[in-house]
Amino acid sequence: MVATHPAPLQVLGLDPQRSPIQAQLEHLLIEGRRAGADLVEVFLERTDHIGVLAEQDRITSVSPSFSMGAGIRVFKGGRDGFVSTDDLGDVGLLKALDQALAMLGLDRSALASGASFEGLQPLRDFGAVKHDWLQRSPDLRTSTDRLLEGTALLERFGQHLEVRRGSYARDWQEVLVAASDGTFARDIRLHQSSGLSVLAADGDHRASIGRRYGSSDRPDDLREWDLEASAAEVCQSAATMLRADYVEGGQMPVVLANRFGGVIFHEACGHLLETTQVERGTTPFADKVGELIAHPAVTAIDEGLSAGAFGSLSMDDEGMEAQRTVLIENGVLQRFLSDRAGEMRTGHARTGSGRRQNHGFAAASRMRNTYIAAGPHKPEALIASIDQGLYCKSMGGGSVGPTGQFNFSVEEGYMIENGKLGKPVKGATLIGEAKEVMPRISMCADDLDLAAGFCGSVSGSIFVTVGQPHVKVDAITVGGR
């Protein structure tokens, strides 16, 4: 019986107008400043999560969880110390502050001269209008009913299905950010993700196909989910891929479909435009602002503003309002995504991109809704321009390594032969290097669309959106058999 979530916080939450928390925060901040910290930031978090899984025609798992915690970060001379704790009592928070100070050689008993703290600014409360979102979200009965409806539709539309699954996760999060520069902001976030997946099997042929959908700040999202369309899409893809051949590897031109095709920009370039990569020296673009780094057909944007998109946010995890950041315009690098530490260490101004999975992580510069802008072409024109190549209709996950080498898998692909779609193929993995592939994105179609996903990196797993119109890559290595 050791961790404490003080009763007022449990009952009243993190709203300073209802909870006696502002004085506690200001106390931590002044103590940190007086100890000699350049800046002290406190991130408080309260979460409420539900995960539901339906298999065949049964609910097989309902997993609720809730948590509270704090992350305290202290900056001094470009360095920082970060301590997270589940103990939000006075003693627990002060202990965490002391640990963070001690990491930087600071001590509350040795008061630094000249340290000042002008107090917190008036609260910017982005959560005020969202106070009832948790209550408005689907309850367990609704959630389980919707998933069972989904698996029943899979049965109706599918053939040779051995496994039918529906999943749903609702993540509600209340955050309060206070920093010794006066930052004082509160938000409530609601993310819902749902998905349908199947395993089709016939003899030695097997295909596992899934689709995931996600939204932010839409309490009615699960209720409004077009289950019939989703189930039909999954079943159609499974039927197509069940007997698909494995792709023959090699270098070839590819057309990547819109929506989740945007994973190519996310992995190949997006991560390399985060200031965490500049700090590490792992991006080839560090000194390329103002230079042509991509084909002139490419304009790329990262923003946190699109209504309902998975990566949208009212404020980032450092209390800064979301922005629209043009990363690349007509092939020319415009700017990097930056957080507080990134601004301090690299000079790139903050872009409202300081994000973290939870209070256990220090914020870092991360993507939000990231996409290649629409171009002038029709999707058919991209395919028609290729004699022999690969059309990637549906993508799996991907990653990028420390030297800029990226990869991502293709879940549903078709060979392109003489400008037309040919036989379906599976088992393709696309690999390349950002510096080489970005100039090869030579055509962008006019059908920009977004898709929800999760991104795991230095500050944990976060909700993001990838997106693009159909794009053509002139040549890329397609791994296969």
List binders of another protein among 401-440 (CB under 8 A). 401-405, 407-409, 426-429, 431-433
Does 17 bind another protein (CB under 8 A)? Our answer is no
Quote the distance between the C-alpha of residue 372 and its chain's center.
16
360 binds another protein (CB under 8 A): yes
What are the start-end ranges of the E strands in 77-160? 79-85, 124-125
376 binding another protein? (CB under 8 A):
no
- Smaller CB distance to another protein: residue 235 or 301? 235
Q: Is 330 left (phi over 0), alpha (psi -120 to 50) or beta?
A: left
If binding is defined by CB under 8 A, does position 20 make contact with another protein? Answer: no
The number of residues that bind another protein (CB under 8 A) is 102
Q: Tell me if 357 contacts another protein by CB under 8 A.
A: no
Would you say 40 or 448 has its CB closer to another protein? 40
Query: Does 347 contact another protein by CB under 8 A?
Result: no
**Least separation in angstroms between CB 1 and another protein:** 5
Of 90-98, 187-195, 294-302, 383-391, the segment contacting another protein by CB under 8 A is: 90-98
Least distance to another protein, CB of residue 191, Å: 18
* Site residues (CB under 8 A) for another protein, limited to 194-233: 199, 206-208
Per-residue contact flags (x/-) with another protein for residues 299 to 338, judged by CB under 8 A: ----------------------------------------
Question: CA–CA separation, 329 vs 295, rounded Å?
Answer: 10
- Encoding tokens for residue 84? 């997270």
CB closer to another protein out of 60 and 330? 60
Stretch that binds another protein, among 112-120, 219-227, 297-305, 371-379 (CB under 8 A): 112-120
CB of 16 to another protein, least distance (A): 13
Question: In the numeric block, which tokens belong to residue 40?
Answer: 């002290």
Kindly state the smallest distance separating residue 378's Cβ from another protein, in Å.
30
Is there binding between residue 63 and another protein (CB under 8 A)? yes
Which part of the chain contacts another protein (CB under 8 A), choosing from 149-157, 277-285, 319-327, 376-384?
A: 277-285
The residue among 46 and 189 lying less far from another protein, judged by its C-beta, is 46
Q: List the interface residues with another protein, window 234-263 (CB under 8 A).
A: 246, 249-251
Q: Which among 90, 125, 136 is positioned nearest to 18, based on CA atoms?
A: 125
Work out how close the CB of 330 gets to another protein at its nearest, in angstroms, rounded to a whole number: 27
Q: Of these, 30, 112, 305, 384, which contacts another protein (CB under 8 A)? A: 30
Q: Is 281 in the site for another protein (CB under 8 A)?
A: yes
160 binds another protein (CB under 8 A): no
